Chains A and B, each alone.
Chain A
Amino acid sequence: MKYSNFMEVTFKAMSVNEGFARVCVASFCVQLNPSVDEITDIKTAVSEAVTNCVVHAYPTSVKGDVILRCELEDDTVTITVSDKGVGIKDVIKAREPFYTSKPSAERSGMGFTVMESFMDDVQVLSNSFGTSVKMTKKISSNVTEKVG
């Protein structure tokens, strides 16, 4: 029988919510019995995606929403982090290691590279109405019975 579950939360694009987003996803994914390493991979990738929303999506002082969705299908977790901000002008460029649109702000430009490294697949959709980052990871250490 196929196991599936999902959750979705919306919060303001403020850095104080990054920790909440990480813990929220980690808590939800526990039902797949991931290893500590896998949970840390997921938390790091979520943190990178949410940071992008906080730093880049809403350049004016009015901060919009971040929508965090987490779907579980058998042993695979799919996380989508979306905003309704200004979008990324050049997604291919933005995904290059060390590229940052804000070099003066001491940014490493490694956000997407970290997401790609810690997750199995990362897809980025962006236009002038917002950005959506969809990340997938198979939980390979899932050895015990699932909850539910």
Chain B
Amino acid sequence: MQIKNRVHNGVMYVLLCGELDEHSATYTRLTLDEMFSSEKFNKIVIDLSELVFMDSTGIGVLIGRYKRMKDKDIPIYIANPSKHAEKIFKMTGLYDIMPKIV
């Protein structure tokens, strides 16, 4: 897993590249939490265009980040999910708390 980020106009854009499973979950959690600990943004967009695989462990990781950011009143949005990621998101109701942006 490789994670890139940039902040533009108060929005933090995060690009997840690789596979999000149990093996990469801890690294992903720690890296995102470190990125999200800065105070220079008021919205997060997680871009999944380069995420080649994700299972339900990824849902746990994303919901965990949502809970942390909810305390700071910072919304998280999902961009460019694969067909399969989208299927898992719809199944779990993730879009109810982290809406998809086009």
Contacts and interface: CB of A to CB of B under 8 A. Distances in A.
Contact of A106 (B55, B60, B88): B60
B42 to A, nearest CB: 24
Given A111-B56, A114-B55, A114-B56, A37 B83 contact: yes
A23 B59 CA distance: 21
A125 to B, nearest CB: 21
Nearest to B54: A44
A19 B23 contact: yes
Contacts of A107: 57, 60
B53 interface: yes
Contacts of B88: 44, 110, 114
Q: Which of A40, A43, A113 has the most CB of B within 10 A?
A: A40
A16 B55 contact: no
User: How big is the A interface, by class?
Assistant: 20 to 34
B87 interface: yes
A18 B21 contact: yes
Given A48-B55, A114-B55, A114-B91, A108 B60 contact: yes
28 contacts: A15-B23, A16-B23, A18-B22, A19-B19, A22-B53, A37-B83, A41-B84, A44-B55, A44-B88, A48-B55, A48-B56, A51-B22, A51-B55, A51-B56, A98-B92, A106-B60, A106-B64, A107-B60, A108-B60, A108-B63, A110-B56, A110-B59, A110-B91, A110-B92, A111-B56, A113-B56, A113-B91, A114-B88
Interface of B: 19, 21-23, 29, 53, 55-57, 59-61, 63-64, 83-84, 87-88, 91-92
Interface of A: 15-16, 18-19, 22, 37, 40-41, 43-44, 47-48, 51, 54-55, 98, 105-108, 110-111, 113-114, 117
